[in-house]
Amino acid sequence: MKVILAGFGTIGQGIVKILKAKDNFIKKKFDEGFEIVGVSDSKGAVYDSRGLDLDLLLKIKHEKGTIKSYPDAKILDSNRDLIDEDADVLIEVTPTDIRKNSVGMSNLLRAFKTGKHVVTSNKAPLALNFKGLKKEAIKNGCLFYYDATVGGATPIISTAREILDSVNIESFQGILNGTCNYILSRMTEEEAPFDLILREAQQLGYAEADPTYDVDGIDTACKLVILANSIMEANATFKDVKVKGIREITEDAIKLAKRDGKVIKLIGEIDCKKLEVSPRLVPEGHLLDVSGNFNVGLFRTDFAGEIAVGGIGAGQMETASTIFRNLIKILRSKHGIRGMA
């Protein structure tokens, strides 16, 4: 199966590493593997219908900072030209960008127009126009998987769709941003103020230099929109979410909560199709009480009660493992193979 990889940053390189590591696993299961035929990064794109060498891709990227100097491949000027080349699947992992005409949005639409299945971790296009993208995918007979947009390695979307498909999901609450959860957990452990812990998180690489996107709840809101649309049949976009971040959480608030056997968490909630992101009190030992950079999704169902799924919310190999899972689903579809069980 021929694959084009748009975006060759942390996640893109993680995918190549997993494809290398899982080569035998795939071929044993399907008598067919994945062939990366095209790759783009911010500097350019290369394509070779015979397949690119995975080790060489990683080496050139590492040494030169771009895959443009990959030898003997067709050099292309744009993602659009790359996506127009022959392939079965586009993996879209360019940096997420909340603007309407982002690279990610154009890539996804072009892939569907040219009949390619899509696997993506790119949140923003889905938070802006989930319905439109889904429609394009269906119109062109393409599979469209985006599990990696929410939760990193945490299988929140797939648990809802594959495990909870025989019950009714009545509401959802989740911790969907590892940076905020890390900051709140550290504030609780250290009884230290927000600014201090934010600086610590920035030094450790757990928070961006500009932390707005995370700490003001925007990232959580984007993920909530994707969840509402994909698992609860809402028709929501980013502007439908009521959002409050964690900047105003004080040491005192955390101490008071602790005295009462509670912790403060940034919770994204979907209830009766109302979407809200806000700091909430959670009892210690509750299914939502996970600390550090973990994510968790909690579904309230009609007959199964509360079901929670937790895992690592970001990270190169963790997010890439979810992309890989979706790739395997595409192979399964092609071969008409159902799950193992």
Query: Cβ 328 to a copy of itself, closest distance in Å?
Result: 4
Residue 209 or 340 having the CB closest to a copy of itself: 340
> Phi, psi at residue 7, to the nearest 5°?
110, 115
Q: Is 123 a catalytic residue?
A: no
| Residue 155 lies near a copy of itself (rule: CB under 8 A) | yes
> Helix 23-30 to helix 316-335 angle, to the nearest 10 degrees?
10
The whole-angstrom separation of Cα 38 and Cα 231 is 32
Query: Cβ 290 to a copy of itself, closest distance in Å?
Result: 6
Residue whose C-alpha is closest to residue 122's, from 9, 43, 22, 228: 9
The whole-angstrom separation of Cα 265 and Cα 278 is 8
Residue 243 or 328 having the CB closest to a copy of itself: 328
Tell me how many residues contact a copy of itself (CB under 8 A): 58
Residue 241 or 249 having the CB closest to a copy of itself: 249
- Active-site option among 61, 68, 116, 223: 223
| Binding letters toward a copy of itself, positions 159-198, x by CB under 8 A | x-xxxxxxx-----------------x---x---------
| Binding letters toward a copy of itself, positions 310-339, x by CB under 8 A | xxx--x-xx-xxx-xx--xx--xx----xx
Structure-token pair, residue 167: 């019950």
Where would I find the H helices in the chain? 10-21, 23-30, 54-64, 79-84, 103-113, 123-139, 156-158, 178-190, 194-203, 212-215, 218-231, 251-259, 316-335
Query: Cβ 263 to a copy of itself, closest distance in Å?
Result: 7
Of 45-53, 95-103, 217-225, 281-289, the segment contacting a copy of itself by CB under 8 A is 281-289
Query: Cβ 302 to a copy of itself, closest distance in Å?
Result: 8
Query: How far, rounded to the nearest angstrom, does the alpha carbon of residue 189 sit from its chain's CA centroid?
Result: 28
41-47-53 Cα angle (round to 5): 85
The whole-angstrom separation of Cα 111 and Cα 123 is 16
Largest distance between two CA atoms of the chain: 65
Residue 68 or 265 having the CB closest to a copy of itself: 265
Residues noted as catalytic: 223
The site for a copy of itself (CB under 8 A) is made up of 18, 21-22, 145, 153-155, 157-159, 161-167, 185, 189, 261, 263, 284-287, 289-292, 294, 301-312, 315, 317-318, 320-322, 324-325, 328-329, 332-333, 338-341
